[in-house]
Structure 1
Amino acid sequence: MSDHDFDLFVIGGGSGGVRAARISAAHGAKVAMAEEYRVGGTCVIRGCVPKKLLIYGAHFAEDLKDAKRFGWQVPECGFDWTVLRDNVLADVDRLEGLYQNTLDSHGVQVFHQRAVVTGPNEVQLADGTRHTARIILIATGARPAIPDFPGAEHGITSNEAFHLDSVPKRISIAGGGYIANEFAGIFNEFGAKVTIINRGGEILRHYDDSVRDRLLQISIKKGIDFRFHAPFEKVEKKADGTLTIHVTGHDPIEADLLMFATGRLPNSEGLGLEALGVEMGERGAIKVDGDSRTNVPSIFAVGDVTDRVQLTPVAIREGQAFADTQFGGTPRRVDYGCIPSAVFSHPPIAAVGLTESQARNKYGTVKIYTSDFRPMKNVLANRDERALYKMVCDSTTNRVLGLHMIGPDAPEILQAAAVAVKAGLTKSQFDDTVALHPTMSEELVLLK
């Protein structure tokens, strides 16, 4: 018999925590979970899933226009934000129910309240009850970062964007990362005047120069404004509810809504970890080793709270590896090399492996192959919007070091190609593969 109430107590019901709890229970562990808000975490409740549904909705703005060039007699169409918003939120409710059912079917006891760590093997719930566990797993995710300046309280974050009463006529979005560019594309297609405010001089700084420059060009052509090198000074709210946004080096910006998309901070505060001596890194990240273990042997952490790689599939992998190692008798670690990523902008970006500059820094000389083309659908639609595919190769071995794409369905195409890059295939092996014609993806085996 165990000396503890549970073998595993998970704090946080997001993607990483749910996976860890479910798999650990499947391995025979007695598992409990505490989630103070909603099961599903950022991705399901207020992140990638509802955002992707908004992106699908936004794409119809262009698709309806393009349909006329394909012979469809499309009338002038209006857009009702509340219908899309409510349908998206209803689907979030559905998914949350599925997550809860999964936990229930695996025998995971879920406490729908906040929990804090009160000892190496003890947690306390908000109602005052305490439970012991042989292992405690922190999977509390991350939250939007909000800059500190006068008037910042007048802004919202991506969390609130899914619940707006209406689409603002003018929205300013602070940030240059994937969240900022994705919501810029969404609101632009819904008819808002969008301005991106960036304290730096570039967007998507972790992506290859060629594809992010292409997105910038296309976004500007679509009517999105950019203010670079524009740190906030203050925001003033007028009597009519509109905002005047003051930034350094630029004229004031008038807006109906300001949204912050300036990064995400690990949710590690107020969990009692500091009192136990759990080591923290920058920005409040929980420091862990390759097995997701902290410096306190009985306490582990997975997902965004560790600030290793803030991606849902990575959190899921970490949760799976944790469960298999601690309860499944099959120790494993997550390989963080060659992780594919995407920006669901308009058009989307997808990438895997090294950028051109990263490859040159690491290998010295590299070979670059590109295809800069206008997709067939864009040609007939009379849409002057070009796709760009770029392959970065080791000049000595011709091994593919990176693939970078911007264009329709780029993330869908890259997922399969990422397997080839991860496997270390060469440019010649891509070339030896017969093209699927006519497709956009065939450009990957025809690069020059």
Structure 2
Amino acid sequence: MKNIVIGSGPAGRLGSLELGKLGEDVTLIEKNHIAGTCLNEGCMVVCALTDITKFIDSANRFNNYGFIKSQLDISYEKIVEKIVETQEKLRHLNQMENESFGNNIIYGEAAIDGDNVKVNGESFEYDNLLIATGAHPFIPDIEGSEYGLTNKDILKIDKVPEKLNIIGGGIIACEIANIYSTLGSEVNVLARSSFLKEIGENARKYILEQIIPDVNVYENTNIKQAFKNKVLTDDDKELEGVPFFATGRVPNSEIADGIVELNNDRTIKVNEMMKTNVENIYAAGDVTGGYQLTPVARMEGITAARNMAGYANKVSYSCIPQTLSLNTEVSFVRNEKSQCSEDDKATIGIPGIAGPHAFWKILTGDTGYTEVEFDKKNNKINRINSISPSSTSDVAYLSYLMRMDYDLDDYGEFLEIHPSTDSNYKIIKNMWL
């Protein structure tokens, strides 16, 4: 059967790979660069810059301790140059990987015309179609919005802004604030409601006080107007700095308009098999809304591919782990299906302890913070907020225990790799079990 995949971000790339592995005929169409927002404009760019800020943070710490004397001379222009160079290598590898399964890759803007997809003046017939066109930054409808930067502009600016106003209060806003504050910008964050409302109050407080203490956060603040080098708030307060919008994302669903059913927010409506209301058309990734995370997009793309190939598969969104890429990683997960009553909840929180990259933070007491909420009656985990250098791996595997509905007694035989998973080891094995 002929399968066409439109979009090569995490959902489309992994979907086409899965179809290729299953021996299916695959044509992957990409408008710009293979690997989509994640590699080219999103999370991998943020992670690359955060690697630099972690190094700066460590260098400053060691200088303050007095056993290393160094003066850093940071070239933002050179950082961008090397990120772009790395992206080019990864694009090449991603293309080779896809083509190794016999998949055909075409670069150009696609249009759906019945049972055909048109691109570059050619028409390609399909038996199954996967739409994985992603999303783009949402720009608020305010005067002067054209002056605002977004994540798409990070690799286009030639120097670190002296002052930066980040409009938005979520994960992306926090990550951008961490990067440019560490690189030397004077940073304001302006949140329409609460800042980082996705995580617990104790973790939020730690982030503000220990990880981004130099960032000015304004909550319950709206922007009335943006200028090239300042913003005007709804209470007529002027804040100097380049505006940067981190205000959410809009689905690239125009290609499907009038062809498949859309939700009220213009995302493509799909079922748990990633199928649209049209029998042979599927959609996956950010264009369908929901969790806009690379691992979730991959999962959705693979699920769609298996169904396209005739292998019935359903997607599950239970206990999705998330993270903030900061100078110290912040990871969290909660069990949305928990039926635990308030009386049966127990919460244990501890400061981070010496783990990977944490030893030299003990002297300043900023080794992190981990908090776990338990279901006492059923001996299970309800929620985790973890701030530590190992939190990304810790929370990933603990979310699996939660997703599989394991009893915590099953954790008793877990053998950690010292010092990578010490924090959760201490809470769950020594303090709870």
User: What TM-score do you get using the length of structure 1 for normalisation?
Assistant: 0.88
Per the alignment, do residues 22 and 378 of structure 1 end up closer, same or farther by CA in structure 2, a change over 3 Å counting?
A: closer
Alignment partner of 1:249 is 2:235: yes
Aligned counterparts of 1:369 and 1:13: Cα–Cα separation in 2: 42
Confirm or deny: 8 A CA contact 1:61 1:189 kept in the other structure: yes
- In the other structure, the counterpart of 1:23 is 18
Per the alignment, do residues 390 and 426 of structure 1 end up closer, same or farther by CA in structure 2, a change over 3 Å counting?
A: farther
Q: Secondary structure at the match of 1:367?
A: strand
**Counterpart selection for 2:292 from 305, 310, 327:** 310
Alignment partner of 1:165 is 2:158: yes
Q: Secondary structure at the match of 2:402?
A: helix
- In the other structure, the counterpart of 1:40 is 35
Instruction: Give the drift of 1:418.
Output: 2.5
Aligned counterparts of 2:24 and 2:415: Cα–Cα separation in 1: 49
Aligned counterparts of 1:322 and 1:286: Cα–Cα separation in 2: 14
**Counterpart selection for 1:214 from 181, 206, 209:** 206
* Paired letter, 1:274: D
Q: Secondary structure at the match of 1:446?
A: helix
- In the other structure, the counterpart of 2:304 is 322
Instruction: Give the drift of 1:98.
Output: 0.9
In structure 2, stretches of 5+ residues that fail to align are: none
* Paired letter, 2:235: G
Instruction: Give the drift of 1:250.
Output: 6.0
Aligned counterparts of 1:73 and 1:340: Cα–Cα separation in 2: 37
Alignment partner of 1:96 is 2:87: no
Alignment partner of 1:404 is 2:385: yes
**Counterpart selection for 1:283 from 265, 268, 276:** 265
Per the alignment, do residues 78 and 382 of structure 1 end up closer, same or farther by CA in structure 2, a change over 3 Å counting?
A: farther
Aligned counterparts of 1:74 and 1:423: Cα–Cα separation in 2: 49
- Identical amino acids, percent of aligned pairs: 25
Q: Which sits farther off after the overlay, 109-118 or 402-411?
A: 402-411
Instruction: Give the drift of 1:280.
Output: 0.6
In structure 1, stretches of 5+ residues that fail to align are: 1-5, 238-242
Q: Secondary structure at the match of 2:108?
A: coil
Confirm or deny: 8 A CA contact 1:392 1:403 kept in the other structure: yes
- In the other structure, the counterpart of 2:430 is 446
Instruction: Give the drift of 1:13.
Output: 1.1
**How do residues 15-414 of structure 1 correspond to structure 2 at under 5 angstroms?**
15-68=10-63, 72-119=67-114, 121-125=115-119, 127-200=120-193, 202-219=194-211, 222-237=213-228, 243-249=229-235, 251-255=237-241, 257-269=242-254, 271=255, 273-276=256-259, 278-327=260-309, 329-354=310-335, 363-365=341-343, 366-373=345-352, 375=354, 377=358, 382-414=363-395
Q: Secondary structure at the match of 2:92?
A: helix
Per the alignment, do residues 13 and 433 of structure 1 end up closer, same or farther by CA in structure 2, a change over 3 Å counting?
A: closer
Confirm or deny: 8 A CA contact 1:196 1:224 kept in the other structure: yes
Give deviations 1:384-428, integer Å, cap 9, x for gaps.
Answer: 425221111113112112221123332133223323333334455
Per the alignment, do residues 192 and 91 of structure 1 end up closer, same or farther by CA in structure 2, a change over 3 Å counting?
A: same
Confirm or deny: 8 A CA contact 2:372 2:381 kept in the other structure: yes
* Paired letter, 1:335: S
Aligned counterparts of 1:212 and 1:79: Cα–Cα separation in 2: 29
Confirm or deny: 8 A CA contact 1:378 1:384 kept in the other structure: no
Per the alignment, do residues 113 and 69 of structure 1 end up closer, same or farther by CA in structure 2, a change over 3 Å counting?
A: same
- In the other structure, the counterpart of 1:3 is none
Give deviations 1:206-264, integer Å, cap 9, x for gaps.
Answer: 222321232123355x2100111111111234xxxxx2210123621011x21111111
Instruction: Give the drift of 1:122.
Output: 1.4
Aligned-residue CA RMSD (Å): 2.4
Confirm or deny: 8 A CA contact 2:373 2:382 kept in the other structure: yes
Aligned counterparts of 1:46 and 1:208: Cα–Cα separation in 2: 28
**Counterpart selection for 1:418 from 393, 399, 403:** 399
Aligned counterparts of 1:362 and 1:157: Cα–Cα separation in 2: 40
Per the alignment, do residues 336 and 251 of structure 1 end up closer, same or farther by CA in structure 2, a change over 3 Å counting?
A: same
Per the alignment, do residues 92 and 434 of structure 1 end up closer, same or farther by CA in structure 2, a change over 3 Å counting?
A: closer
Per the alignment, do residues 64 and 122 of structure 1 end up closer, same or farther by CA in structure 2, a change over 3 Å counting?
A: same
Aligned counterparts of 2:342 and 2:283: Cα–Cα separation in 1: 37
Confirm or deny: 8 A CA contact 1:66 1:381 kept in the other structure: no
* Paired letter, 2:377: T
Aligned counterparts of 1:12 and 1:432: Cα–Cα separation in 2: 43
Instruction: Give the drift of 1:87.
Output: 1.0
Aligned counterparts of 1:401 and 1:394: Cα–Cα separation in 2: 6
Instruction: Give the drift of 1:51.
Output: 1.3
Aligned counterparts of 1:320 and 1:177: Cα–Cα separation in 2: 28
Aligned counterparts of 2:59 and 2:167: Cα–Cα separation in 1: 30
Instruction: Give the drift of 1:89.
Output: 1.2
